[in-house]
Structure 1
Amino acid sequence: MTTHPMSSPHPGTPDPTAPPTGEVLDVVGIGIGPSNLSLAALLAGAERTAGPGAPGGDGVRAVFLDRAERFTWHAGLMLPDVQMQVHYLKDLVTPVDPTSPYSFPAFLVENKRFYRLLVTGRSKVPRREFEQYCQWAAERVPNLRFGVDVRAVDWDGELFTVETGEGTYRARNVVTGTGLDPKLPACATGFEPHRVFHASQVLAQPRDFTGLRVAVVGGGQSGAEVVHHLLSTPDRPAAVLWGTSRDNLLPLDDTPFVDELFVPNYSTYFHGLPAARRAALVERQRMASDGVSASLLEAIYQRLYDLEELDGLDRPCRVLLGHRLTSVTDAAGALRTGWLAGDGSGLTEDVDVVICATGYRHDLPAPLHRLRELLVPGGELAVRADFSLEWRGPEQNRVYVQNAARHRFGVADPNLSLLAWRSATIANSLLGFERYDTGAVRAALDWVGHPAADADPDHDVPMAVLGHR
């Protein structure tokens, strides 16, 4: 893969990514995952296309910081052969800026892959390739600084102060894109990290599962990826126990009309719904984002067939449907796991390792904890339509959040499908004008209101009607 040095400012222009000198920035971005990388690329694009003196021509003075030494994405779960669940054109920029030099097609062309990818027939690429693309973009997008640990964000009455290991930045606005914290069941905490750990740490250190009994907790995409890996790796465990509270291993619902939950129109509509209705819809639409790719379910089933029917193994993987992990205890060198079924019955199974694919915690991002009293007086993050938080400070100073508003924007928020649209919304807000079109798009469904939505959160609304155009 061809690489180039990161972009640098014009000669004679102060470098906004340099260590703090007291200069006030327009925005400091905390964390450089796909979300803030997308925003940085769009802010650079706004400056690139604006003429001198035009709105946005002077750009937004920004710096994006990350403690990692280089861009990585879910490194602990970058298992062989895992595939994306979204189309590769839903990249950092293309949905809102298709001419951007930071697009996935630009990455393919520069690396001489364009035609060959088309020949593969894929619409969803391996996760490793998306990470390669993001690393390629991170080498080109200006104003990124890796190896900088952000410790806290404070408000001094006039500006935000961003405390880092190399000094303090001062900015009018901040935007967090630090990702979510892994969530373990309460009963699975306090054990040695090589015995009980979150799925996001599977590849964090060398592991040899040969001859071990491994329990995998969770029936979503990550749990399925871990199970497939365990059944396929040369150091295959002696036995896998796969437990899920779901009634079956349910597929991702990515059929066409359900996929329209992942267009801007629906997220905008969802944001305007009352809280009870939003909560009910997120739960009912869970399989639109938390289900397992059908191709992966097929691969696991075929792998089990081969191991049992061709290799003659006796149940290399047992699946516990409708069972919730309730206890993990030490038992003569083993881990005794307790499981509770929906009918109230229970069982125990002894294993050697427990891997929890139990999701992530949606909470106030850690760097913002000092601002908690200014941001969440009612206990829940109130996220505006531009992804800034309601707070007690001046209107012109804002705290934006990336991937932290599922309760306000729906199941699409933590998904990459609306990555570029969300970043464009934030970019427009920072620029003070609509540089990127984030309005309604052409779609088959129109999301319309219904009086029952306010009165009864379990009523079958919102209604979707065929688009009029």
Structure 2
Amino acid sequence: MNTQTVDLLGVGIGPFNLSIAALASTKPDLSTLFLERKKAFAWHPGLLLNDAKMQTSYLKDLVTGIDPTNPYSFLNYLVEQQKLYPFIASGQSVISRIEFSHYLSWAAHSLNNTRFNQDVQSVEFNGDVFTIETSEHSYQSKHLVVGTGMQPQVPTFCEPHISNTCFHASELGLRKPNLTGKRVAIIGGGQTGADVFQHLFDKTFGEVADINWISRRSNIEALDESCFTDQYFMPDYVDGFYHLAQTTKNSEVSRQKLTSDGITNDCLQGIYQRLYHDRYVLNNPSWWSIQPNRTLISLAHNENGYKLHLEHGLTHDNTQINADVVILCTGYRRALPSCLSKLASQIPLNSQGLPELCPDFSVKWPAANNNRIYMVNAGIHSHGIAEPQLSLATWRAAKIINHASGKNLYEIDQQEAIVDWGLSSPEVLIQPKAKAAV
């Protein structure tokens, strides 16, 4: 059996590795190959709800931010699919998640450096090259880039109850449950929680008897998408952020939460108008409830359904609600993929249990001078709030391509920014100044 050897091999084909694959596909100076265990491309298939929208512009696609002439741009996808003019006429500034998923799938299956149905079982390092084993093939590569995505996060006390009636929202579109006549509790106040609430309200999964939307946030909060907030998603800010003290980084990431984890204003306006019409125009009996500032603290199940115990964030009062179905919109967690287990002892982890990343998104490990392991969507606590978002995916991809090739294959020099963050001198940013004694 012949062993294919490349300069850079990617494990996983999600949007971030796909961006690297697309940009690298036109650069013969760097040989690349990307492997995916699934038989076909899939991007959060359980959340491709009919009316769910993207939070970012369609210009923040796989390639346009770095190379708008690349054949795998969203605009070229529209041309190839013969729908450019209808799209222009639609006046959309943001597109549906379904269409963006179609675009990603089109690119993934058009590229010649992607391979599906390739389950990476192990990765070994022999001193100068990585050996990657799948169930059917063996590959060798000088460098790795890991983009295996995140795993659904479920509260520990909910894990024993995971079933057809208690599940993570990432499975909703795949399960397509019949919720007619059911009491449903939605846990989580971000964009996913809003999308689920809207689709349940609109009877996408049947005529629900009762909806309780629970969020520990202080309100149902909007995405902060102003033009100045968007400056957090610029290369100069990410480069400067990297050199801050870790305690400062953690504080800033927490403070900036709503720049990426709020709900789009269009979605909020649509939900509010539905609620107003239902309550004040149709005068329907109460059948839905929105409860912010409540934390789910326990979950029990009996023959009558689920009992959810909540604690109020301000009063600390305990209340209880009942449900037949519980949908957990509780986010995702990052974890080191099992295929790297043979390298795990050589990769130091940070307090979040993830590898420490260099400015170029490579892992700090003993062989990093010659053989690099890059990771995407694993550096929010090192590179900031933009790292797990699509906004700078192309810039990060180009940076990895340049670093792995040792050449300036893409021009990524920064233009003069609108905002002066004062973060351009790393030497003075390693630790925050101590406060004077009082």
Structure 1 length normalisation: TM-score? 0.87
1:133 has 2:107 as partner: no
The residue number in structure 2 matching 1:331 is 302
Q: CA deviation at 1:403?
A: 0.9
User: Which has the larger displacement, 362-371 or 352-361?
Assistant: 362-371
Distance 1:453 1:314, change over 3 A: farther
Q: CA deviation at 1:370?
A: 3.0
1:299 has 2:280 as partner: no
1:417 has 2:417 as partner: no
Match of 2:324 among 321, 338, 352: 352
The residue number in structure 2 matching 1:193 is 163
Which residue type is aligned with residue 94 of structure 2? K
Q: Which residues of 2 match residues 100-179 of structure 1 at below 5 A?
A: 100-179=70-149
Per the alignment, in what secondary structure is the counterpart of residue 326 of structure 1?
strand
Contact 1:383-1:408 at 8 Å conserved across structures: yes
Q: State how far apart, in whole Å, the 1-side matches of 2:60 and 2:276 are.
A: 35
Which residue type is aligned with residue 272 of structure 1? H
Per the alignment, in what secondary structure is the counterpart of residue 298 of structure 1?
helix
Per the alignment, in what secondary structure is the counterpart of residue 139 of structure 1?
helix
Q: CA deviation at 1:244?
A: 0.7
User: For the aligned residues, what is the CA RMSD?
Assistant: 1.9
Q: State how far apart, in whole Å, the 2-side matches of 1:319 and 1:285 are.
A: 24
- 1:266-317 residue CA offsets vs partner (Å, 9 max, x unmatched): 1111111111111110000000000000110111111222333344432332
Q: CA deviation at 1:456?
A: 5.7
- 1:164-191 residue CA offsets vs partner (Å, 9 max, x unmatched): 1113322211111111111011121112
Q: Give the unaligned 5+ runs of structure 1.
A: 1-19, 48-55, 459-469
Q: Give the unaligned 5+ runs of structure 2.
A: none
Q: CA deviation at 1:347?
A: 0.7
Contact 2:187-2:193 at 8 Å conserved across structures: yes
Distance 1:413 1:113, change over 3 A: same
Q: State how far apart, in whole Å, the 1-side matches of 2:93 and 2:27 are.
A: 28
Distance 1:327 1:117, change over 3 A: same
Distance 1:441 1:457, change over 3 A: farther
Q: CA deviation at 1:222?
A: 0.6
Which residue type is aligned with residue 297 of structure 1? L
Contact 1:374-1:393 at 8 Å conserved across structures: no
Q: Which residues of 2 match residues 361-376 of structure 1 at below 5 A?
A: 361-376=333-348
Per the alignment, in what secondary structure is the counterpart of residue 27 of structure 2?
helix
Q: CA deviation at 1:129?
A: 1.2
The residue number in structure 1 matching 2:412 is 438
Q: State how far apart, in whole Å, the 2-side matches of 1:319 and 1:65 are.
A: 43
Match of 1:45 among 12, 26, 35: 26
1:34 has 2:28 as partner: no
Distance 1:236 1:156, change over 3 A: farther
Q: State how far apart, in whole Å, the 2-side matches of 1:23 and 1:107 are.
A: 30
Which residue type is aligned with residue 258 of structure 1? T
Which residue type is aligned with residue 347 of structure 1? T
Q: State how far apart, in whole Å, the 2-side matches of 1:394 and 1:86 are.
A: 34
Distance 1:201 1:319, change over 3 A: same
User: Which has the larger displacement, 237-246 or 165-174?
Assistant: 165-174
Q: State how far apart, in whole Å, the 2-side matches of 1:354 and 1:437 are.
A: 48
* Matched length: 428
Q: CA deviation at 1:71?
A: 1.2
The residue number in structure 2 matching 1:14 is none
Distance 1:308 1:200, change over 3 A: same
